[in-house]
Chain A
């Protein structure tokens, strides 16, 4: 077990994690980061906004950043069918 801190950085600024969490390893910290990004952006999406310009920085006990997870990494993003096939509007 080790303590990790997950700082959220996006267009609005930085939300520093002062508390941290005891996790098995970096892999679990990454999983928490992905889960956190999905949860934040799902909430934003409900308000009709989706801003993928952000990241979570995972810091270890010493405060050193050991991994950066861009928001985009939390999603598989596929463009709409219309755009993919070059069609425009209508059916």
Chain B
């Protein structure tokens, strides 16, 4: 259940068996949600953090007029709200984008980890700082990149992030998102996303059809996006 989380942590530093055991023991409960389920609402009191075991989840914020910004996408093995451990309520919503399996990790057990396992604590801290690094990159996309560049960037990022957990190859990956949902990640309308995807296809960089991403030219796609994977901190070192 926590295998994909371990995979990602071990890519960045060693996790010993005591730490692995503590993570396994921290999970209290598993839940399955259908797609489009808003399972954590803004302001709700929280006493557990949620680890995504399977599926795709987003963090989002809404405006009164119905405008929605997805501020983060989470893939299997990500904690979707490790930050709720210290925040206790969230300033945003969390919703499934596909059918999902999640694992609940009570804050009391996280507290125990922070008091007994300092290195594992730092690794969990690392994962929230990694979330922040990804958010900075999205901010650059939303504020500065063109529609084409930010769309290309999102597809590059997901190829790397899904690749780490064995869900993407050089050739592509499954991405069960609609163009409207992509638009909510990118600050674009669905119509604009459609147009932008056509341009990416015409340039021979990638295709997105029927929830499948086909990467035709990753180097070209990364160049169009100005994508550098340094913000994903893929190097293994003592932390």
Instruction: Identify the A interface with B (CB < 8 A).
Output: 6, 8, 12-13, 15, 17-19, 21, 32-33, 35-37, 39-40, 43, 46-47, 56
Determine if B179 is an interface residue (Cβ-Cβ < 8 Å).
yes
Contact A32 B195 (CB under 8 A): no
Contact B194 A17 (CB under 8 A): yes
Contact B189 A39 (CB under 8 A): yes
**If A43-B146, A46-B146, A47-B146 touch, does A21 touch B192 (CB 8 Å cutoff)?**
no
Chain A residues with Cβ under 8 A from B197's Cβ? Answer: 15
**If A15-B198, A19-B178 touch, does A43 touch B147 (CB 8 Å cutoff)?**
yes
7 additional contacts (CB under 8 A) given A19-B178, A39-B189, A39-B191 = A13-B198, A15-B197, A17-B179, A33-B191, A39-B188, A40-B191, A56-B191
Chain B residues with Cβ under 8 A from A8's Cβ? Answer: 191, 194-195
Chain A residues with Cβ under 8 A from B195's Cβ? Answer: 8, 15, 36, 40
Contact A40 B146 (CB under 8 A): no
Q: With both chains docked as a complex, state the minimum distance between the C-beta of B98 and any C-beta of chain A, in angstroms.
A: 16
In the complex, the 9 A-B pairs of residues with the closest C-beta atoms, listed nearest first: A36-B191, A15-B198, A39-B192, A36-B189, A39-B189, A15-B195, A43-B147, A8-B195, A15-B194
Chain B residues with Cβ under 8 A from A21's Cβ? Answer: 180, 190
Determine if B122 is an interface residue (Cβ-Cβ < 8 Å).
no
Q: Which of B172-209 contact A (CB under 8 A)?
A: 178-180, 188-192, 194-195, 197-199, 202, 209
